[in-house]
A and B are shown apart, each in its own frame.
Chain A
Amino acid sequence: MMSKNVTRTLLSSMRGISSSPRLNYPQSSVSASKREREVIKSRELEKDELRPLYMDFQATTPMDPRVLDTMLPYQVNYYGNPHSRTHAYGWESEAAMEKARKQVADLIGADPREIVFTSGATESNNMSIKGVARFYKAKKKHVITTQIEHKCVLDSCRVLESEGFEVTYLPVKSNGLIDLQQLDETIRPDTSLVSVMTVNNEIGVKQPIKEIGHICRSKNLFFHTDAAQAIGKIPINVSDLKVDLMSISGHKIYGPKGVGALYVRRRPRVRIEPLQSGGGQERGLRSGTVPTPLAVGLGAACELAQQEMEYDHARVSVLANRLVQKIMSEVPDVVMNGDPEQRYPGCINLSFAYVEGESLLMALKDVALSSGSACTSASLEPSYVLRAIGADEDLAHSSIRFGIGRFTTEEEVDYTAEKCIQQVRRLREMSPLWEMVQEGVDLKSIKWTQH
């Protein structure tokens, strides 16, 4: 068992250092997922086994009890379809839906008529990117986005490319922020949309949305932002930030899973070609029955987020500082990915040199963590976000993302930091690369030979 771990660590760290040719995407993902099934086996917890701590708040968040309390009456008693216009069941359901719409609109400083309920931020992203691009495709064929966007945005852009659009993927600087000068130069007269996410889900950097909004407004094109990770955590006002389209996700702000919203500006009007056809609900932009209990939950979560924003932000910053200080003071050669100032404090991505990420995750089995985002965690490729910010291959393989949220306690943070320090030390002691570094050998000057 021990020797298997050692060989695996050796092989994987060597794989990181030597420039082996990468297989193309489909092949590598199939073989990688087969290998992944061997590395971290999923299994159910035993009856009396203690549950791990949850430190993965960027993947999803537990529902706040107050949100569940608001949703239950609509699951149990008031079950009418909000679009039924002829009886009390429909009217009360519709009233609840409109109240929820107002709550969501208040959080971002919008008008309730500008909010469309969807099934999540992925659907909102698809709707806005494909919808805007296709509506204006007669005259405008260019779309701009960044390299560190969420997979759904990048995939929608790939679909647009196959339909004949031109997409520019802006690179980011090594701190994760985009270069405003470069954005300005990339904008062409036939650009219809710029899409930049507010807070990145893997490294937590906060993009300069206000400045980008200003640039887009001055050049008369639409600005879409994926604010799933930012809503309810940092103050957002769509008129201040000059944003035309914004995606909101329910399960990132302590609300239910399966619901989200899209903000679509009315003045100046943004026209979208709808993705889902049907009975014309939600102003014709997204047909389909609005799930009243989920929408009510989203509204309650947004209202709570607005009330608790300051309190949560102060707490999360204190806890995040505590975690980072503890780990970085005890363990050398740790790099924090992303800009240290322009970030949301609750998302910390640390790279531990000379330790492999997967083996560290396996060692920290009492804490629920992830390396990279949930969408990319199935393949063993390092996350594309880390590659885009220019992290070294070996550091990209050994990154772990810590998420801190409303419900995290000091004991959890201390426990995580202790375990992390302990396991990193243990794994480094087993690593021959670490021994070489201790002896003063410069790893980059070594010529590795293939066997």
Chain B
Amino acid sequence: MDFRSSIPAAPVLSLYRRLLKESRSFPPYNYRTYALRRVRDAFRENRSVEDPKALEQLLNKACDSLAIIQRQVSIRKMYETQQTVVEPEPKNL
């Protein structure tokens, strides 16, 4: 992270880690891979943003996304179905 920005790196990193952790628990394969990929790419893209207002906006958006992912993960867990053919481990019977 860029240390010259006014928002310290630690909360941003912890948000990033929480987003990735939540995304990993999405049961459906397609949504899981999409969420992980999109979060990584979004953080990578905005890595060098310095303007504090823009940063705050992005961080708010990230917090909202975290809430959305948490809600959607719990809904998908309630309605689970079989896994797709490309997933590495088959479900235990």
Contacts and interface: CB of A to CB of B under 8 A. Distances in A.
Interface in A46-93: 47-54, 62, 65-66, 68-69
Contact of A54 (B30, B38, B41): B30
A48 B33 contact: no
Given A69-B68, A409-B30, A51 B82 contact: yes
B30 A51 contact: no
Given A50-B90, A65-B68, A311-B41, A366 B31 contact: no
B82 A65 contact: no
Interface string B26-43: 000111011100100100
B33 A45 contact: no
Contact of A51 (B71, B81, B93): B81
A68 B72 contact: yes
A65 B31 contact: yes
B84 A48 contact: no
Given A65-B68, A65-B69, A409 B84 contact: no
A415 B86 contact: yes
Interface in A387-423: 406-409, 411-412, 415
A393 B30 CA distance: 37
A51 B34 contact: no
Interface of B: 29-31, 33-35, 38, 41, 68-69, 71-72, 75, 81-87, 90-91, 93
Contacts of B33: 407, 409
Interface residues of A, number: 23
A48 B82 contact: yes
A65 B82 CA distance: 19
Nearest to A367: B85
B86 to A, nearest CB: 5
Interface of A: 45, 47-54, 62, 65-66, 68-69, 311, 366, 406-409, 411-412, 415
Contacts of A66: 68
Nearest to B90: A50
A311 B37 CA distance: 11
Given A51-B81, A412-B86, 18 more contacts: A45-B82, A47-B82, A48-B82, A48-B93, A50-B82, A51-B83, A53-B84, A53-B85, A65-B35, A65-B68, A66-B68, A68-B72, A311-B38, A407-B30, A407-B31, A407-B34, A409-B29, A409-B86
Given A48-B91, A65-B31, A366 B68 contact: no
B47 to A, nearest CB: 16
A50 B93 CA distance: 12
Nearest to B81: A51
A50 B34 contact: no
A50 B68 contact: no
Nearest to B28: A62
Contacts of A51: 81-85
B30 A62 contact: yes
A64 to B, nearest CB: 9
